[in-house]
Amino acid sequence: MAKKQAAERRHAKPGQLIIRPIRESDYAALYDCAVESGHGFTSLPVDETLLRNRIARAQEAFSKQDLSTPGEDGYLFVMEDSNDGSIAGVAGIEAAVGLSEAFYHYHLGKVVHHSPKHNVYNALQTLTLCNDYTGATELCTLFLREPYRFGRNGRALSKFRLLFLAQFSKRFSSRVFAEMRGVSDENGRSPFWAWLEKHFFTMDFPRADYLTGIGDKTFVAELMPRFPIYVNMLDKSAQEVIGKVHQNTLPALKLLQSEGLQFRDYIDIFDAGPTVEGDLKQLKTVRNSRLMNVVVGQPEVAESYLLCTLQVEDFRACHADVSCQGDDVIIDRRVAEALQVEDGDSLRIAPL
């Protein structure tokens, strides 16, 4: 059924896809996204109370004015199809993680066991539980629904967040990271977690993943091994997935890497998926973004750009073919109406 809907969507005349702050009326669509995202998507738990709280928390974040330092604000956006108002996807930003409750990762390190007398030298990898991303900004909750996975929709839904960071940089940390979904099967079984479960826990991966998603993380501190783990002590299947991504996450990883985010030896504590990070000002879309004056007309020699407005609460973003002439960006009437801008208004833009 999903493939049939996707095919129908591709052959239908596309509406303008607009990205905007989430509203209470988007709850049903957000719930559907949570169900469709499946196991391992921690930030979208299938829980009505938690999802409604997530919406309320986002609305509070968007309503705040003149923030000068990053706090524990969570921004959640939806991509809306102007044809029928349906929700194509969701994406989020956490301004600063771990300020009031611990935010855990494993750090991949190395220890050397060396005996010159006996001519023995072994360099061994270790996993050490840490909170090194405390205060950093997280790109999170990226999910594009199956019928919309074509063209540049996925790129736009991921990259527009960097325009938001560029425009409202005082609200965010200079250190930006994203956790990538690790390897698990269709039943939610993670080879990495299976080893931890066998030796330290008595709960399966979907249960641990769900508890983290609803904010119940105390079991991590209570049950996780407190000392470094030697990687070579893990089952081979667990070792093989360290730093590897789920096959559905590979395009998202490559896109973030193209922006300048890099793997620096931090992995998820449940599925061992890699975390990538970078400096906000050095990210490609942030560096290449600029403010432009709006001219509503017919773009000539058009190129694909990301565009966003300059208001937090009434934020709008989209991708479109536009023309740039000096300090002016020429957009057609449909794009102007979607972004709710007129001649003389300002937009932040970046090449897509």
For residue 241, the SS3 value is: coil
The β-bridge partners of 183 are none
Residues 224 and 18: their CA atoms lie apart, in Å, by 42
> What does the angle CA 88 – CA 90 – CA 91 come to, to the nearest 5 degrees?
140
> What are 56-59's contacts with CB under 8 Å, separation 24+?
56/24, 58/21, 58/22, 58/92, 59/21, 59/22, 59/23, 59/24
Residues 220 and 105: their CA atoms lie apart, in Å, by 11
* Identity of the amino acid at 124: L
Catalytic residue among 39, 105, 246, 319: 246
246 is catalytic: yes
In whole angstroms, what separates CA 124 from the centre of its chain?
Answer: 32
Residues 39 and 270: their CA atoms lie apart, in Å, by 12
Task: Give the H/E segment covering residue 207.
Answer: helix 205-213
26 in Cβ contact with 54 (< 8 Å): no
DSSP string, 170-198: GGS-SEEEEEPP----TT---HHHHHHHH
Q: Which residues are catalytic?
A: 246
